[in-house]
Structure 1
Amino acid sequence: MRKQLVLLGTSQYDSSIAPNYRHSACGPTTMHVILNYLNDSAPSINELYKQLGSTKIGLFKWRLIRNLRRLHPSWDVRTCSLKEALQEIDAGRPVAIRFDRYFSLRWRDKKSTFAYHWVPLIGYDIRDNKLWLIFHDNGKPNHDSIIRQALYQDNEKVLSFVKITPH
């Protein structure tokens, strides 16, 4: 069973993003992609970097939720479970996911796809009774955003999900 939303990804290393933001712009880039999908209008990634409270070491989940609620007070923005995240995909809405070995105290877990990275979850696939998460990777210095997949089982201990539901 496969479900995948069609949305346009963006690289956090795009030339429109301030050079001093690029290395830590995965959170604002993820939100830019999701907000553009949900309401076809989002502040620039540079603006989101400031509005969401991003730092050189990344974007804290609690800060993302608090500041996105300030930007969209009528929306439901909160941490959610895997089940809720998949329900959001089924309802046609992407979800922000964070891979985080450091603050989950799993820094030695080398199996996870990323040590620390925010990405838009755009789908899932169940193959051979295993759940694969489909997401837009926000690019690297030398390539654009690409759609990738990661086995949930290899990442579950370092993942957190944030749903963004407009009202």
Structure 2
Amino acid sequence: MRIQLPVDGQSQYTDNVRKKWQNSACGPTTAAIILDYLLPHESPKSINQLYKQLRTTRIGLFKYRFIRNLRKIVGPTWSVEGCSLDDALLELREGRPVAIKFDRYFSFHFFLKPTFAYHWVPLIGYEETENDVVLIIHDNGGRNRDSQIREVSFQANRKVLSFVKMSPSSVREQ
């Protein structure tokens, strides 16, 4: 089975992103893409705004900051939390993209050769194969290149991957 959501990608290297932030803007770019897809009627957040609101640093965005600060942005009607691959695939089946972080440094797998050493991307689909799950992502672009849809192996990257899902939460009655 193959699922691919019609998510529009963005490049973290667009002229709209501050030049000094572009190299570390993959987390805010991923958040912007997911927010634009899940909350299309909300006022759009720029990558620069999200860079500040998520408290991104020049070396990137830590997962706990991504979760904690995205919760503040979306409010109590949405749940933002880390999840497993199985949860991420369920989110995709429910029509919601998921944030993926590739991180060989803070996962202490310095010598692995994953698709990305340290990078946030939106997961927009998947396909199960006999021995693997092919993850369909937007790569957030490059200098002078728009974001592209890419397919990457879960098995080849599993030791450096973490997932963050954003889903509607039930509003508690007061």
- For the aligned pair, the TM-score class normalised by the smaller chain equals over 0.9
Contiguous gaps of at least 5 residues in structure 2: 170-174
Alpha-carbon distance in 1 for matches of 2:102, 2:29? 15
The equivalent residue for 1:153 is: 155
The equivalent residue for 2:96 is: 93
The equivalent residue for 1:26 is: 26
Task: Map 1:126-145 onto structure 2 (within 5 A).
Answer: 126-145=128-147
SS of aligned partner of 2:19: coil
Alpha-carbon distance in 2 for matches of 1:8, 1:31? 12
Alignment match of 1:80 (pick from 80, 83, 86):
83
Q: Does 1:8 align with 2:8?
A: yes
Shift of 1:72: 1.8
Shift of 1:142: 2.1
- TM-score, structure 2 length as denominator? 0.93
Comparing 63-72 and 49-58, the one that deviates more: 63-72
1:102 is matched by which residue type in structure 2? Y
1:156 is matched by which residue type in structure 2? R
Shift of 1:126: 1.6
- TM-score, structure 1 length as denominator? 0.97
In percent, how many aligned pairs have the same letter?
57
Shift of 1:130: 1.9
Alpha-carbon distance in 2 for matches of 1:86, 1:128? 16
Aligned residues: 166
The ranges of structure 1 where at least 4 consecutive aligned residues each deviate by more than 3 angstroms after the TM superposition are: none
The equivalent residue for 2:115 is: 113
Alpha-carbon distance in 1 for matches of 2:58, 2:37? 26
The equivalent residue for 1:62 is: 64
1:87 is matched by which residue type in structure 2? L
The equivalent residue for 1:163 is: 165
Contiguous gaps of at least 5 residues in structure 1: none
2:52 is matched by which residue type in structure 1? K
Alpha-carbon distance in 2 for matches of 1:131, 1:43? 32
